[in-house]
Amino acid sequence: TRTLAYLKPAFRTYATAASPHALVYLEHSAGAIDSASLSALTAAQKLGGQVTGLLVGSAEEVKEVLPKAQKLKGLNDVLHASSPQYAHPLPETVSPLFEKILSSGSPYTHVVSAHSSAAKSILPRVAAKLDVPAVSDITSLEHDSSSNSTTFTRPIYAGNAIATVRAPSSVPVKFFTVRSTAFAAAPSDGADVEAKPLEAVEVASSPTEHIKTELTKSDRPELGSASRIVSGGRALKDAETFKKTLEPLADVLGAAIGASRAAVDAGYADNSLQVGQTGKVVAPELYVALGISGAIQHLAGMKDSKLIVAVNKDPDAPIFQVADAGLVADLYEVVPELVEKLKAQ
């Protein structure tokens, strides 16, 4: 309509865009690009067009991470913006930068990110400003250039059903976040691509400010990207027993430690270790579930693991329905024996 055309002049440019051009938000921490963003980059490549990375951070962070971003395979170029305001990517401070990038004349047809806590807030916020929908937590995608529509699948009802949704050509910029376990991480052995600096968009008075970040320190592999995970549930009784029982097995397997929500809520394990619908979604090569019943909310976070091993006293525990190897036994007898046998190998 006339009103829309007046309010959103940029859309006339987008609607005629022929081949896709994705803008991928590259999140980073401790000088490295997050592996979930590398999976988002792989997903963006499946659109079949150009892919531009977007790196945002303090000047020091950008200086350290930019050379790594330029080497990512699958990127055509990298935009980068630095400001003290971007040291902690609050949606309130980063969103205006996205809006500027996507303003009139922008070549981008898709905006892509990991399904991370920050991006889950940034992307829908920017999409709302542009008056377009955002699709979250996608596990596959297909772009049809002739109709300029993109079709996605995404798990719903804690992974018990898969919804297929389509962003048609009437959606000029298609926003989506990516479930990292569904896409391999893009490799970082590409040729250096061009880095294009952008001016930061300073927010005069942000309604939120970053106060502090408390990181859990651990020598173990990071839960979200570990290839092996040993997870414990309510059966682990208390924090001390949880640690004493799981750590020797995790050590011998070189595994990360995970937990069910019951174990986290009871204070046996840190919040950051929770696996499931309201915790982390993981898909390691090996997932060992000890004293975990297998509630659907837990399965939602681990059922895509390649090999699931479960130990539970109850032969009817639902975890056995997804387990590749199941042992109906008392974990306090089985786990020490398993540790000894693995050590002897």
Q: Is 233 in the site for ligand FAD (CB under 6 A)?
A: yes
Q: Which residue is nearest to ligand FAD (CB)?
A: 276
Q: Is 231 in the site for ligand FAD (CB under 6 A)?
A: no
By CB under 6 A, name the one of 49, 89, 159, 301 that touches ligand FAD.
301
Q: Is 49 in the site for ligand FAD (CB under 6 A)?
A: no
Nearer to ligand FAD, 158 or 286 (CB): 158
Candidates 332, 285, 337; CA nearest to 313 is 332
Query: By CB under 6 A, what part of segment 268-297 binds ligand FAD?
Result: 274-279, 291-293, 295, 297
Q: What is the DSSP string of 267-291?
A: TSS-GGGBBSTTSB----SEEEEES
Q: How far is the CB of 116 from ligand FAD (least distance, A)?
A: 17
Q: Is 331 in the site for ligand FAD (CB under 6 A)?
A: yes
Nearer to ligand FAD, 69 or 262 (CB): 262
By CB under 6 A, name the one of 260, 304, 310, 323 that touches ligand FAD.
260
Nearer to ligand FAD, 139 or 149 (CB): 139
Q: Is 303 in the site for ligand FAD (CB under 6 A)?
A: no
Q: Is 302 in the site for ligand FAD (CB under 6 A)?
A: no
From the list 1-9, 88-96, 145-153, 313-321, the region that binds ligand FAD by CB under 6 A is 313-321
Q: Which element (helix H / strand E) includes 165?
A: strand 161-167
246 contacts 223 by C-beta, under 8 angstroms: no
Nearer to ligand FAD, 61 or 137 (CB): 137
CB atoms within 10 A of CB 146: 7
Number of H helices, E strands in the chain: 11, 17
Q: Is 130 in the site for ligand FAD (CB under 6 A)?
A: no
By CB under 6 A, name the one of 28, 80, 179, 298 that touches ligand FAD.
298
Question: Strand pairing partners for 78?
Answer: 53, 195
Q: Exposed (0-12), middle (13-18) or buried (19+): which is 294, by Cβ within 10 Å?
A: buried
Q: Is 224 in the site for ligand FAD (CB under 6 A)?
A: no
Dig out the tokens for 210 from the structure.
């970053």
Candidates 69, 114, 268, 147; CA nearest to 292 is 268
Dig out the tokens for 260 from the structure.
């069910």
By CB under 6 A, name the one of 235, 282, 310, 323 that touches ligand FAD.
235
List CB contacts of 139: < 8 A, sequence separation 6 or more. Answer: 153, 154, 155, 162, 179, 182
Report DSSP state, residue 28. Answer: E
Q: How far is the CB of 264 from ligand FAD (least distance, A)?
A: 8
Q: Which element (helix H / strand E) includes 253?
A: helix 239-253
**Site size for ligand FAD, by CB under 6 A?**
28
Dig out the tokens for 325 from the structure.
């190897």
Nearer to ligand FAD, 57 or 301 (CB): 301
Q: Is 116 in the site for ligand FAD (CB under 6 A)?
A: no
38 contacts 65 by C-beta, under 8 angstroms: no
By CB under 6 A, name the one of 317, 322, 338, 339 that touches ligand FAD.
317
Q: List contacts with ligand FAD (CB under 6 A).
A: 233-235, 260-263, 274-279, 291-293, 295, 297-298, 301, 311-314, 317, 330-332
